[in-house]
C-alpha cells in the first residue's frame, strides 16, 4: 500500500496517522505501530477526525491487522472513535488500565479488554516485541498510563509533554517549551505528582517522545523531561508566593506574560497587545520598553487588551499562568476575569448538568447493552459462559498469551461427565440432566480460583481456563473438582467426571499463534477422551496415557435397523472393540458429546438427522471434527460419493457388504498412528 499524504513514518515501525484539520488549536495525535503481520493503534482519536485517521491507517495496513488499541486514558479526544472503528468491522482488543476501562465502556464499545494491571503492565506481540506500560496516576486521570517501547526507545506519552500551540508542526521546535508548560499548568494537578513520574522517565533510554497533543519531541527529550520535573503546576489550587519579589516591579511579569502569549498565539499578537498598552516588545530578544509608572492600573489594562485580542478562550488558557504571576509578584487578580469568565463558567456549569444527564442515560443504555451481551454469552442451564463465547475467547486469549514469559503458565481443563447421562435422561427426564449439569457447574465455580473462567460446552462437557498458575496447582485444583463431583449427594444418581488437562507451554514452540487456540482445545478434548478410555473418573495430563491402555477403540454404530446394528456390534465386539449404538442422528450427537468415540459407523438414511448431516455437525466442532467416519447405505451413486468426499467421510460402503471388509476399514482407521 502507498501511505496516504497524512501518514508520516517516524521510526522503528511507528507512524503518525493523525488529522491536520484540527491542528490550529488543539492537535490530537493517533499513532500506529506496524510489527510484522499485526499492528497496534495508540489513542485512535475522536469522532471529529475519525475519517481522516481511518484513511491514513488503511493506506498502511488493512483494518483486520490491527490487533490491539491502546487507550492511555478515557477522554473523548482520544477514545470516542473506538465504536466507529468497531462499526467498520474491526476486531481488536482494548489495552488499558482497569480505571480507564470502567469509563471507556460508556462509549458503547464491544471489544474485549486487556487490563495492563492484570498482565504485569506489559504486552508481548506475536513477534516477541514487548510494550511496557507505566502508570502516571492523576496526570491527569487516576488510571492514566504511558507506553514505552524499549526496543525502539520510544515513549508514547498520552497527555504528558502535550502543548498549546498557535501554529502546529509535527516536530517540536524552540518555541515548543512555553506551550508545553502552559498545557501542563492547566491539566496537571501539582509538581508533587508530576515530578516523581518525570524522574522515573528520566531514568529510561528515550530517543523520541510521542505525545497525544502537540508535537513529537525527537531532539533532546531529556531537556523537556527536566523542564516538567521542575514545573510549578496546579496554580489554581493555591501557588506559593515568593516574598522577595516587589509589587512595584511590573516589567518582569509583563515580559513573561508577553513571552507566553507569543508562544501560544504568535509573536504578532503579542506585539500588537504590547502596542495597545503603549509598550515596545521585541519577540527575538524579549526586551520590553515603556513607562511602568501606571502600576496596577497598567496591569489591569494589559490583561484587558489580552481579552479583547484573544477572546474568552485565550483568557481561559492564560488563567493559570496569570494567577501564578499574581502570586509571585504580589499583583491583584485582574477584574476582567470576574466579568469575562463568569459567563463562560455559568455556561460550563449548564453544560456539566447536561453532560451529567447524558451520562446517566448512557449508563442506563450501557446496562441494557451489557445485559443483552451477557445473554448471548451465557449458557441458560448453568449460567456459565457458553461454547460460542469459549471459541472466540480461547482463540484470542491463547494467541495473545502464546509468548508470555514467567514461571506460571496458562492451563486449560476440559471436563466431561462419564457415561450414563443418556440413560438418566431416558429414565428421569431432561430436567434431572439439567440439574446435574447445574450442580457440576456450581462445583467448578466454587472450586476455581477467582481469576479462572469456566465455560459450558456442548452436551455434558465443560472447560476451565486457568491463567497464571503452576501446572501441578492446576492439576490439584481439577482433582478437587473431580472428587467433589464423585462425592456429591445432590445428584439423582452418582456421577463422575474425567478431565483433560493441557498447558500453554506444551504448544508454545511449535504452534502458529493463529492456530494456537484451536490446537490447545483439541489437545484438551483428546486427553478427556483418553481419560474416559482408561475407565473414567480421572485426569489425563499427558498424551502418552493411551499407550498404557490395552483396550481397543470405542466405536459408535448409528442405524435404525436394529438387526443390522446388532450384527455389526457383535462382530466388532468379537474383535475386542467397545461398541455402542444409536438409533438416529440426534441420539448419536448426544452420545458423542457425552462419551467420546474413536470411530463412527453410520447408515446414510436416518430419521431426524441423516448420516451426511451428522458428519457435517461433527465437523463444526473442534473436538469431533477429526473422528473417522464410515457411511453405510443401499444408495451409492456419483452425487452421493462426491458429497461424502467433500464432507471428509473416510469410507463409503454399499449394502450388502462383507463384514471382513468393514473390519479392515476399522483397523486402518483406529490403529495407532493411522493416517486419517
CATH number at residue 462: 3.30.70.270
Mean pLDDT of the chain: 84
Q: How confident is the model at residue 423 (pLDDT cuts 50, 70, 90)?
A: confident
Query: At residue 281, does pLDDT exceed 80?
Result: yes
Which pLDDT belongs to residue 102?
A: 85
State whether residue 530 is helix, strand or coil.
helix
Boundaries of domain holding 297: 237-334
Q: What is the pLDDT of residues 325-370, one digit of tens each?
A: 888 788 888 888 776 555 555 555 666 666 666 666 666 655 555 5
Which pLDDT belongs to residue 462?
A: 96
Contact (CB, 8 A) for 588 and 558: yes
Which pLDDT belongs to residue 592?
A: 85
Which pLDDT belongs to residue 242?
A: 43
Average pLDDT over residues 9-25: 79
The percent of residues in the chain predicted with pLDDT above 90, rounded, is 37
- Residues 453 and 580 both lie in one domain: no
- Give domain status of residue 377, yes or no: no
Pull the grid cell for residue 378. Answer: 451465557
- Of the ranges 130-134, 455-459, 618-622, which one carries the lowest mean pLDDT score? 618-622
Query: At residue 205, does pLDDT exceed 50?
Result: yes
Domain boundary among 548, 578, 609: 548
Which pLDDT belongs to residue 304?
A: 86
Q: How confident is the model at residue 299 (pLDDT cuts 50, 70, 90)?
A: confident
CATH number at residue 184: 3.60.15.10
Cell 473418573 belongs to 537
Which pLDDT belongs to residue 332?
A: 83
State whether residue 313 is helix, strand or coil.
helix
Contact (CB, 8 A) for 498 and 540: yes
Query: At residue 233, does pLDDT exceed 60?
Result: yes
In b/e form, how buried is each residue of 514-541, taking b as 16+ CB within 10 angstroms? eebbbbbbbbbbbbbbbbbbbebbbbbb
- Residues 503 and 392 both lie in one domain: yes
Q: What is the pLDDT of residues 542-586, one digit of tens each?
A: 865 444 334 468 899 999 888 888 889 888 887 878 899 999 988
Q: How far apart are CA 118 and CA 669, in angstroms?
A: 46
Query: At residue 531, does pLDDT exceed 90?
Result: no
Q: What is the pLDDT of residues 508-519, one digit of tens each?
A: 877 788 788 889
CATH number at residue 603: 3.40.50.2300
- Residues 228 and 241 both lie in one domain: no
State whether residue 38 is helix, strand or coil.
strand
Query: At residue 25, does pLDDT exceed 70?
Result: no
Contact (CB, 8 A) for 600 and 627: yes
- Residues 519 and 402 both lie in one domain: yes
- Of the ranges 112-116, 150-154, 237-241, which one carries the lowest mean pLDDT score? 237-241
- Give domain status of residue 352, yes or no: no
Which pLDDT belongs to residue 66?
A: 95
Q: Which residues does 589 contact at the CB level (< 8 Å), separation at least 6?
A: 609, 614, 617, 618
State whether residue 295 is helix, strand or coil.
helix
Q: Hey, which bits of 478-563 come out as E strands?
A: 497-503, 539-540, 554-558
Q: Which residues does 125 contact at the CB level (< 8 Å), separation at least 6?
A: 35, 36, 38, 40, 67, 131
Q: Which residues does 15 contact at the CB level (< 8 Å), separation at least 6?
A: 3, 7, 8, 9, 31, 32, 33, 34, 56, 60
Domain boundary among 208, 233, 258: 233
Query: At residue 401, does pLDDT exceed 90?
Result: no
Contact (CB, 8 A) for 321 and 260: yes
Which pLDDT belongs to residue 532?
A: 84
Q: Which residues does 86 contact at the CB level (< 8 Å), separation at least 6?
A: 109, 110, 111
State whether residue 477 is helix, strand or coil.
helix
- Residues 401 and 541 both lie in one domain: yes
- Residues 613 and 663 both lie in one domain: yes
- Residues 448 and 533 both lie in one domain: yes
Average pLDDT over residues 54-74: 93
- Residues 531 and 396 both lie in one domain: yes
Q: How confident is the model at residue 445 (pLDDT cuts 50, 70, 90)?
A: very high
Q: How confident is the model at residue 540 (pLDDT cuts 50, 70, 90)?
A: very high
Which pLDDT belongs to residue 546?
A: 40
Q: Residue 543's closest CA among 525, 567, 562?
A: 525
- Residues 114 and 200 both lie in one domain: yes
Report how far apart, in Å, the C-alpha atoms of 290 and of each of 155, 262, 281, 596 are. Answer: 45, 18, 9, 95
Give the count of domains, the chain: 4
Q: How confident is the model at residue 21 (pLDDT cuts 50, 70, 90)?
A: low
- Most confident by average pLDDT, 458-462, 475-479, 523-527: 475-479
- Residues 225 and 80 both lie in one domain: yes
- Residues 45 and 80 both lie in one domain: yes
Q: How far apart are CA 622 and CA 620, in angstroms?
A: 7
Q: What is the pLDDT of residues 78-90, one digit of tens each?
A: 899 999 999 999 9
Query: At residue 396, does pLDDT exceed 60?
Result: yes
- Give domain status of residue 577, yes or no: yes
Domain boundary among 522, 548, 574: 548
- Residues 514 and 577 both lie in one domain: no
If you ran DSSP here, which 8-state letter would residue 552 be given? Answer: -
Q: How confident is the model at residue 131 (pLDDT cuts 50, 70, 90)?
A: very high
Q: Which residues does 116 contact at the CB level (< 8 Å), separation at least 6?
A: 95, 96, 97, 122, 123, 133, 145
Which pLDDT belongs to residue 400?
A: 81
**In this predicted model, which residue has the larger pLDDT, 242 or 323?**
323
Query: At residue 392, does pLDDT exceed 90?
Result: no
Query: At residue 376, does pLDDT exceed 60?
Result: yes
Which pLDDT belongs to residue 247?
A: 41
Query: At residue 23, does pLDDT exceed 50?
Result: no
Contact (CB, 8 A) for 114 and 147: no
Query: At residue 189, does pLDDT exceed 80?
Result: yes
Amino acid at each position: 500500500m502507498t501511505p496516504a499524504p497524512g501518514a508520516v513514518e517516524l521510526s522503528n515501525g511507528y507512524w503518525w496517522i493523525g488529522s491536520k484539520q484540527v491542528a490550529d488549536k488543539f492537535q490530537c495525535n493517533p499513532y500506529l505501530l506496524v510489527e510484522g503481520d499485526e499492528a497496534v493503534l495508540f489513542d485512535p482519536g475522536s469522532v471529529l477526525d475519525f475519517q481522516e485517521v481511518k484513511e491514513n491507517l488503511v493506506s498502511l495496513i488493512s483494518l483486520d491487522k490491527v490487533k490491539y488499541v491502546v487507550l492511555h486514558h478515557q477522554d473523548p479526544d482520544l477514545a470516542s472513535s473506538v465504536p466507529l472503528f468497531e462499526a467498520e468491522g474491526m476486531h481488536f482488543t482494548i489495552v488499558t488500565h482497569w480505571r480507564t476501562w470502567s469509563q471507556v465502556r460508556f462509549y458503547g464499545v464491544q471489544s474485549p479488554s486487556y487490563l495492563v494491571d492484570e498482565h504485569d503492565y506489559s504486552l508481548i506481540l506475536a513477534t516477541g516485541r514487548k510494550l511496557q506500560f507505566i502508570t502516571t496516576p492523576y496526570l491527569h486521570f487516576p488510571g492514566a498510563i504511558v507506553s514505552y517501547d524499549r526496543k525502539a526507545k520510544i515513549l508514547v506519552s498520552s497527555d504528558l509533554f502535550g502543548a498549546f500551540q498557535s501554529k502546529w508542526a509535527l516536530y517540536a521546535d524552540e518555541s515548543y517549551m512555553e506551550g508545553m508548560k502552559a498545557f501542563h499548568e492547566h491539566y496537571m494537578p501539582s509538581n508533587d505528582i508530576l515530578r516523581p513520574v518525570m524522574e522515573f522517565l528520566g531514568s529510561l533510554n528515550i530517543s523520541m517522545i510521542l505525545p497525544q497533543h502537540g508535537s513529537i519531541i525527537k531532539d533532546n527529550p531529556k531537556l523537556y523531561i527536566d523542564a516538567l520535573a521542575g514545573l510549578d503546576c496546579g496554580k489554581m489550587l493555591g501557588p506559593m508566593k515568593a516574598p522577595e519579589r516587589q509589587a512595584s516591579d511590573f516589567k518582569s511579569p509583563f515580559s513573561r506574560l508577553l513571552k507566553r502569549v507569543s508562544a501560544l498565539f504568535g509573536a504578532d499578537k503579542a506585539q500588537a497587545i504590547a502596542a495597545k498598552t503603549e509598550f515596545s516588545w521585541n519577540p527575538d530578544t524579549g526586551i520590553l520598553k515603556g513607562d511602568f509608572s501606571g502600576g496596577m492600573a497598567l496591569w489591569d489594562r494589559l490583561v484587558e487588551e489580552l481579552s479583547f485580542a484573544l477572546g474568552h478562550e485565550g483568557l481561559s488558557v492564560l488563567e493559570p499562568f496569570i494567577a501564578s504571576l499574581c502570586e509571585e509578584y504580589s499583583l491583584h487578580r485582574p477584574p476582567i476575569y470576574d466579568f469575562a469568565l463568569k459567563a463562560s463558567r455559568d455556561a460550563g456549569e449548564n453544560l456539566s448538568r447536561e453532560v451529567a444527564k447524558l451520562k446517566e442515560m448512557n449508563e442506563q443504555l450501557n446496562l441494557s447493552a451489557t445485559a443483552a451481551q451477557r445473554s448471548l454469552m451465557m449458557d441458560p442451564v448453568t449460567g456459565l459462559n457458553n461454547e460460542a463465547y469459549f471459541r472466540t475467547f480461547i482463540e484470542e486469549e491463547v494467541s495473545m498469551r502464546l509468548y508470555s514469559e514467567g514461571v506460571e503458565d496458562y492451563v486449560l481443563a476440559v471436563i466431561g461427565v462419564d457415561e450414563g447421562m443418556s440413560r438418566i435422561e431416558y429414565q428421569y427426564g431432561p430436567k434431572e440432566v439439567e440439574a446435574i449439569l447445574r450442580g457440576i457447574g456450581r462445583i467448578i465455580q466454587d472450586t476455581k480460583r477467582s481469576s479462572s473462567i469456566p465455560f459450558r460446552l456442548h452436551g455434558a462437557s465443560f472447560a476451565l481456563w486457568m491463567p497464571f498458575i503452576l501446572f501441578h496447582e492446576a492439576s490439584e485444583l481439577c482433582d478437587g473438582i473431580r472428587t467433589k463431583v464423585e462425592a456429591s449427594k445432590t445428584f439423582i444418581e452418582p456421577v463422575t467426571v474425567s478431565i483433560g488437562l493441557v498447558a500453554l507451554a506444551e504448544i508454545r514452540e511449535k504452534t502458529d499463534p493463529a492456530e494456537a487456540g484451536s490446537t490447545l482445545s483439541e489437545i484438551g478434548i483428546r486427553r478427556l477422551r483418553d481419560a474416559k478410555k482408561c475407565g473414567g473418573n480421572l485426569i489425563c495430563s499427558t498424551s502418552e496415557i493411551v499407550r498404557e491402555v490395552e483396550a481397543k477403540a470405542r466405536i459408535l454404530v448409528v442405524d435404525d435397523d436394529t438387526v443390522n446394528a446388532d450384527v455389526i456390534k457383535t462382530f466388532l465386539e468379537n474383535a475386542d472393540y467397545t461398541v455402542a449404538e444409536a438409533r438416529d442422528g440426534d441420539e448419536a450427537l448426544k452420545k458423542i458429546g457425552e462419551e467420546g468415540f474413536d470411530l463412527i459407523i453410520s447408515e446414510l438414511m436416518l430419521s431426524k438427522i441423516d448420516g451426511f448431516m451428522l458428519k457435517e455437525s461433527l465437523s463444526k466442532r473442534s473436538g469431533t471434527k477429526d473422528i473417522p467416519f464410515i457411511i453405510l447405505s443401499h444408495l451409492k451413486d456419483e452425487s452421493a460419493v462426491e458429497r461424502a468426499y467433500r464432507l471428509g467421510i473416510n469410507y463409503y460402503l454399499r449394502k450388502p457388504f462383507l463384514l471382513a471388509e468393514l473390519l479392515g476399514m476399522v483397523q486402518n482407521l483406529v490403529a495407532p498412528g493411522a493416517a486419517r
